[in-house]
Amino acid sequence: MDNNILDIKDLKVNYITDEGTVQAVNGLNISLKKGESLGLVGETGAGKTTTALSVLRLIPNPPGKIENGEIYFEGKNLLEASEEEMRHIRGNKISMIFQDPMTSLNPVMTVGEQIAEGIEIHQGLDKQKSMEKAKEMLELVGIPKERSVDFPHQFSGGMKQRVVIAIALSCNPLLLIADEPTTALDVTIQAQVLDLMNDLKEKFDTSMILITHDLGIVAETCDKVAVMYAGEIIEFATLEQLFTEPKHPYTKGLFGSIPNLEEDVDRLKPIRGLMPDPTNLPKGCTFHPRCPEAKETCKKREPVSIDTGNSHMVKCLLYEEVSQSEGAK
């Protein structure tokens, strides 16, 4: 517990809309050690980005509201911190790389200004020194420093994402949250950006939460993986455990849907059904309508997260029953 840099406990986030209350995150638990990388995997709408924004307390309110839970960062509950304290954490100790580099930079400010801004706020440097540091950051992410006076529209998508990374890393954060940092980029640029992030992460010994729906990226960069479904972590394990022995039927489904290069198949094997309506989640296990192994009890009882050995956590009644019957013996 003490060497955990981040501990999220029983986090609950709702979006209150006219159509109903969207339960984006339901009782989520995550912990992360210093220097570790956690992959947060799940379909679109599983609540990954909401979780990340909660850590920075940047959920747009209204309509979003953190209903419940605790987020401990360096032993301090961020949900009880003042706005002023949060400002000192954002961009300084925790920073975030956003999904779409095309829209995450301010079109009317030069990239140099945008990088220098965070440095000026958090490191107490004057304008000129911040700009010098910003230029160093640009060089670090592989952009010539002369381009610091250019505006975002003069850069390509991959370069914009590098600028976003430079902003995120400019104050050597303890925790970096990368929200699908490569989704908007094409494959060759993806690899470059991932390599860059990995290098910088090692250089600064930064912990990272990598949000993605690409298991390949997870395999390349992460130590631990959390699989998210309908606002809950349904499986949490080390990279090796998860890839060699996925336990939750949903995780198995995710792996099953990856086409095998060696087999000749005509059709992909998707997980049947769609994500449940977040304003009206199914009773019992939220995955039961789509689960190939669902039983009658899955419709009624909500599973709890249990340890199946070596801290491999699964939230599924199949395993709960096994351990219960074992306990009965």
Partner 1 sequence: MHKYILRRILLLIPVTIGVTFIVYSIMYFTPGDPAMIMLGENAPEAELIKLREEMGLNDPFIVQYGRFLKNAVQGDFGRSYSTKKPVFDEVFSRFPATLKLTVAGLAIALVIGIPVGIISATKQYSLMDSVSMILALLGVSMPNFWLGLMLILLFSVKLGLLPSGGDAGFSAMILPAITLGTGVAAIITRMTRSSMLEVIRQDYIRTARAKGVKEKKVINKHALKNALIPIVTVVGLQFGSLLGGAVLTENVFSWPGVGRLMVDAIKQKDTPMVLASVIFISVTFSIVNLVVDILYAYLDPRIKSQYS
What SS3 state is found at 70?
strand
Cβ closest to partner 1, residue 98 vs residue 250: 98
Cβ closest to partner 1, residue 154 vs residue 324: 154
In angstroms, the Cα distances linking 141 to 75, 135, 161, 186, 233 are 32, 10, 10, 18, 33
Query: Which of 202, 191, 132 is CA-nearest to residue 161?
Result: 191
Name the helix (H) or strand (E) containing 12. Answer: strand 4-17
Integer-rounded Cα Rg, in Å, for the chain is: 21
| Interacting residue ranges for partner 1, rule: CB under 8 A | 56, 58, 60, 62, 83, 87-92, 95-96, 98, 100, 103-109, 114, 117-118, 121-122, 151, 153-154, 164, 167
The amino acid at residue 180 is E
Residue 54 C-beta: closest distance to partner 1, Å: 13
Residue 107 C-beta: closest distance to partner 1, Å: 6
Residue 165 C-beta: closest distance to partner 1, Å: 12
Residue 99 C-beta: closest distance to partner 1, Å: 8
Residue 105 C-beta: closest distance to partner 1, Å: 6
Cβ closest to partner 1, residue 23 vs residue 114: 114
Strand order in the sheet with 94-97: 94-97, 175-179, 207-212, 37-41, 224-229, 232-238, 313-314, 306-307
Pairwise CA distance, residues 316 & 109, whole Å: 49
Pairwise CA distance, residues 239 & 197, whole Å: 18
Pairwise CA distance, residues 139 & 83, whole Å: 33
Cβ closest to partner 1, residue 169 vs residue 225: 169
The amino acid at residue 165 is I
Residue 163 C-beta: closest distance to partner 1, Å: 10
Cβ closest to partner 1, residue 105 vs residue 233: 105
Cβ closest to partner 1, residue 79 vs residue 294: 79
